[in-house]
């Protein structure tokens, strides 16, 4: 071996290489704009990567939401769309798939995840209620607040520490939950809002032991557990890999066992379910299901399509069948881990352990000289685009928004820039280009200054806010 100068990806890490478990049969060309073009584009976008045009982007790591490549089976399924207003056969296929793989009884389709968050929040939250959860998510918390609730973070402390190597940083801290119950009373807590994996913590998983203990604890207090199942397949992969007793369980078995400890779930089908649009709510309680079914016709569409076309529901049903393939789940997470390993080897600060859907660069350590209210993570996303046309997104103070009571910025412990990997879209070569781009802006980090916000929308400001550099 010693004469070998060049190494494959696997050899670099001392193991056999793996490859993406698919072959490409349709391509979409992408181009890198020249430096002047990228500068003009980011200025026109107010230094907010959400406001860039897709054509201005070279490698798009803004989100893994709705950006998956569908399979040939899914595209074939699109041709089987039954576009009847009521009772489309694709709805029944979707219902069967959710009942089989997630195990819930009553299914209400929605146009995407936030449609389902809206329904569950309005169906079960009363004004003055508290909703404990394993870290907030932007749209989830907003719907809980709009329904009159207050979100309370009960995730373990390790989740707020980007350097903690805890294997299940998404776990709920039952002591924190108990403290909340002692303070406000169990009757003020309609449900625990459990996410697997936890997006804002860096795509970190919840262990089976934790959900089991949470279920038992909530049973004692008469509190329900509802799951944000958006990325539960990735969570299942981490359980298979890290939790004792699950090595020989399939992703499908782990997913089903986990969901069985919960009372229902909301879903952004745009992630795990491998489609470009769609969502659903699924619950076991027929009374909650009826409330949601009544509301869905007001806000989304009839209860057998909920804002999706028949063909979309078919693609979701097929996506559910494909997402539980063990090779798919493993290659998804390993691709992200490959990128993470390169960055860590180059001493670039990222959230560890590497999570399920993205690399989260720790902007506080990347730009220690930029104060949090000058938006270091937003700055990092803008700099990465300027350097290489790679689009990422802020997950820090801008995403956290303002406290509705005080009107001040919320200052989250985690100030992160997310490089989110779409499913089945990019190859290892794209990951190499991205890694070198992050290194390039890291090498010149001392010369970078922060931003000031010059336009701030009222809701979910990160989507449309505009910024300017200080000079």
For residue 265, list its beta bridge partners.
Answer: 227, 282
Residue 28, C-beta contacts closer than 8 angstroms, at least 6 positions apart: none
**Active-site pick, 60, 64, 129, 228:** 228
Whichever of 113 and 355 has its CB closer to ligand PLP, that residue is 113
CB of 115 to ligand PLP, least distance (A): 7
Strand order from edge to edge, sheet including 393-395: 358-362, 416-420, 393-395
Whichever of 329 and 435 has its CB closer to ligand PLP, that residue is 329
**DSSP type of residue 52:** S
Omega of the bond prior to 136 within 30 degrees of 0, cis? no
Known catalytic residue: 467?
A: no
For residue 191, list its beta bridge partners.
Answer: 224
Instruction: Residue 347: count other Cβ atoms within 10 Å of its Cβ.
Output: 8
Whichever of 114 and 249 has its CB closer to ligand PLP, that residue is 114
- The first and second tokens of residue 266, run together, are 């909301």
CB of 9 to ligand PLP, least distance (A): 29
> Residue 419: phi, psi to the nearest 5?
-105, 100
Q: Binding ligand PLP by CB under 6 A: which of 47, 130, 136, 137?
A: 137
Q: Binding ligand PLP by CB under 6 A: which of 193, 230, 331, 392?
A: 230
CB 297 within 8 A of CB 306: no
Length of the chain: 471
**Active-site pick, 130, 367, 462, 467:** 462
CB of 150 to ligand PLP, least distance (A): 19
Whichever of 199 and 417 has its CB closer to ligand PLP, that residue is 199
**Residues from 24 through 83 that contact ligand PLP (CB under 6 A):** 65
Which among 136-144, 210-218, 328-336, 456-464 is the span making contact with ligand PLP, rule CB under 6 A? 136-144
Known catalytic residue: 138?
A: yes
**Active-site pick, 49, 63, 67, 138:** 138
Whichever of 300 and 352 has its CB closer to ligand PLP, that residue is 300
> Residue 146: phi, psi to the nearest 5?
-65, -25
Binding track, positions 251-290, relative to ligand PLP; x by CB under 6 A: -----------------x-x--------x-----------
Helix (H, G, I), strand (E, B) or coil at 139: helix
Q: Binding ligand PLP by CB under 6 A: which of 131, 142, 195, 289?
A: 195
CB of 378 to ligand PLP, least distance (A): 18
Considering the rule CB under 6 A, would residue 143 count as an interface residue with ligand PLP? Answer: no
What is the size of the binding site for ligand PLP (CB under 6 A)?
A: 14
Binding track, positions 92-121, relative to ligand PLP; x by CB under 6 A: --------------------xxx-------
CB of 201 to ligand PLP, least distance (A): 10
Which residue lies nearest ligand PLP, judged by its C-beta?
Answer: 113
CB 282 within 8 A of CB 230: no
Cα–Cα distances in angstroms (integers) from residue 449 to residues 151, 335, 369, 384, 443, in the given order? 34, 32, 8, 14, 14
Known catalytic residue: 362?
A: no
For residue 359, list its beta bridge partners.
Answer: 419
**Active-site pick, 395, 418, 423, 461:** 395
Q: Binding ligand PLP by CB under 6 A: which of 95, 228, 312, 394?
A: 228
CB of 145 to ligand PLP, least distance (A): 15
Residue 249, C-beta contacts closer than 8 angstroms, at least 6 positions apart: 239, 240, 257
Whichever of 192 and 435 has its CB closer to ligand PLP, that residue is 192
Known catalytic residue: 140?
A: no
Helix (H, G, I), strand (E, B) or coil at 391: strand
> Residue 347: phi, psi to the nearest 5?
65, 30
Q: For residue 407, with 0-12 CB atoms within 10 Å meaning exposed, 13-18 middle and 19 or more buried, which class applies?
A: exposed
Q: Note the helical H segments in 168-231.
A: 174-184, 208-221
Cα–Cα distances in angstroms (integers) from residue 77 to residues 6, 89, 323, 329, in the given order? 43, 12, 16, 22
Binding track, positions 351-390, relative to ligand PLP; x by CB under 6 A: ----------------------------------------
Whichever of 93 and 270 has its CB closer to ligand PLP, that residue is 270
CB 196 within 8 A of CB 229: yes
Task: Classify strands 59-60 and 150-153 as parallel, antiparallel or unpaired.
Answer: unpaired
**Active-site pick, 72, 85, 345, 411:** 85
**Active-site pick, 58, 101, 102, 137:** 137
Whichever of 141 and 311 has its CB closer to ligand PLP, that residue is 141
Known catalytic residue: 228?
A: yes
CB of 184 to ligand PLP, least distance (A): 25
Rounded to a whole number of angstroms, the distance between the first and last alpha carbons of the chain is 53
In the complex, which residues of this chain contact ligand PLP (CB under 6 A)?
65, 112-114, 137, 139-140, 195, 199, 228, 230, 268, 270, 279
Annotated catalytic residues are: 85, 137-138, 228, 271, 395, 462
């Amino acid at each position: 071996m010693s004469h070998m100068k060049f190494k494959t990806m696997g050899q670099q890490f001392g193991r056999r290489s793996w490859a993406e478990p698919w072959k490409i049969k349709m391509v979409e060309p992408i181009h890198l704009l020249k430096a002047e073009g990228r500068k003009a584009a980011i200025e026109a976008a107010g230094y907010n990567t959400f406001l860039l045009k897709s054509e201005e982007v070279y490698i798009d790591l803004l989100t893994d939401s709705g950006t998956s490549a569908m399979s040939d089976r899914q595209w074939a399924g699109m041709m089987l769309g039954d576009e009847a207003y009521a009772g489309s056969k694709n709805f029944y296929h979707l219902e069967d798939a959710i009942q089989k793989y997630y195990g819930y009884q009553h299914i209400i389709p929605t146009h995407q995840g936030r449609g389902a968050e809206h329904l569950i929040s309005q169906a079960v939250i009363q004004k003055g209620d508290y909703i404990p959860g394993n870290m907030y998510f932007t749209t989830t918390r907003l719907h809980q607040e709009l329904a009159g609730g207050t979100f309370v973070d009960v995730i373990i402390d390790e989740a707020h520490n980007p350097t903690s190597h805890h294997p299940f940083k998404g776990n709920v801290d039952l002591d924190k939950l108990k403290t909340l119950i002692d303070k406000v009373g169990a009757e003020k807590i309609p449900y625990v809002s459990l996410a697997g994996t936890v997006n804002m913590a860096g795509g970190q998983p919840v262990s089976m032991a934790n959900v089991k203990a949470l279920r038992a604890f909530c049973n004692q207090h008469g509190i329900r557990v509802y799951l944000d199942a958006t990325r539960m397949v990735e969570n299942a992969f981490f359980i298979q890999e890290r939790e004792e007793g699950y090595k020989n369980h399939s992703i499908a078995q782990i997913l089903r066992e986990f969901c069985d400890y919960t009372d229902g779930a909301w879903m952004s089908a745009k992630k795990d379910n491998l489609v470009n649009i769609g969502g659903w709510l699924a619950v076991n309680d027929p009374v909650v299901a009826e409330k949601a079914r009544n509301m869905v016709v007001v806000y989304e569409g009839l209860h057998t399509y909920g804002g999706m076309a028949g063909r979309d529901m078919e693609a979701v049903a097929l996506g559910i069948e494909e997402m539980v393939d063990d090779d798919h789940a493993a290659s998804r997470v390993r691709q992200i881990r490959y990128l993470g390993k390169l960055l860590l080897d180059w001493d670039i600060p990222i959230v560890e352990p590497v999570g399920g859907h993205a690399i989260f660069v720790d902007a506080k350590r990347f730009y220690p000289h930029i104060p949090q209210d000058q938006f270091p993570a937003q700055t990092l996303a803008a700099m990465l685009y300027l350097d290489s046309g790679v689009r990422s997104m802020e997950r820090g103070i801008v995403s956290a928004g303002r406290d509705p009571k005080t009107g001040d910025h919320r200052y989250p412990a985690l100030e992160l820039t997310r490089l989110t990997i779409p499913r089945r879209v990019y190859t290892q070569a794209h990951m190499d280009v991205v890694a070198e781009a992050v290194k390039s802006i890291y090498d010149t980090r001392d010369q970078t200054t922060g931003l000031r916000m010059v336009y701030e929308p009222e809701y979910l400001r990160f989507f449309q806010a505009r910024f300017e550099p200080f000079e």
